[in-house]
Amino acid sequence: MQQAKKGDKVKVHYHGKLTDGTTFDSSAGREPLEFEVGAGMMIPGFDKGVEGMSVGDKKTIQIVAAEAYGEANEEMIFDFPKERFPADLVPEVGMQLNMNNGQGGIIPVTIIEVKDDVVVLDANHSLAGKDLIFDIEMVDIEAKSMIIMP
């Protein structure tokens, strides 16, 4: 039976949880997730976890933070002056915002503390520093086509 390998396009259903059992994402009720194994489209631990699976296989993988979204970086936590927020926005802990990086890019940030004159923002990925658990079911494997040219 065909097993998923680097270069194959695969479709999987998944259920992503934190180590405390909290669900952070799932493909339930949606189309399966489609990606190319080893192409860097997925976090490294997920990519490695599907290798060797065959259609119909189900398994649970545990991914350490370093193989997921990396460790949280203290340099990505910073103070932002309250007066630079729009006048109609009342900053609250847990609020997720998008910041312009000054070069046309958007950086998602989360408010982690509100002080008198500054708001503390965290630009780390929300899953940075967390170990993850995925229940995966392999739905389809499309092998990388091998074309022989004369």
CATH numbers and ranges of domains, the chain: 9-70+127-142 (3.10.50.40), 74-122 (2.40.10.330)
Residue in 15, 19, 18 with CA at minimum distance from that of residue 59? 15
Give the amino acid at 109: V
Q: What is the pLDDT, as a whole number, of residue 149?
A: 66
Residue in 31, 30, 28, 33 with CA at minimum distance from that of residue 46? 33
* Higher pLDDT among residues 57 and 87, named by residue: 57
Q: What is the pLDDT, as a whole number, of residue 147?
A: 66
Q: Is the CB of residue 13 less than 8 Å from the CB of residue 28?
A: yes
Residue 47: what are its φ and ψ, rounded to 5°?
Answer: -55, -50
Residue-wise pLDDT tens digits, 8-51: 999 999 999 999 999 999 999 999 999 999 999 999 999 999 99
Q: What is the pLDDT, as a whole number, of residue 1?
A: 79
Give the DSSP per-residue string, 62-118. Answer: EE-GGGTT----GGGEEEEEGGGS-TT----TT-EEEEE-SSS-EEEEEEEEE-SSE
CB atoms within 10 A of CB 126: 12
Judged against a pLDDT cut of 80, whether residue 99 lies above it is answered with yes
Q: Is the CB of residue 58 less than 8 Å from the CB of residue 15?
A: no
Q: What is the pLDDT, as a whole number, of residue 148?
A: 66
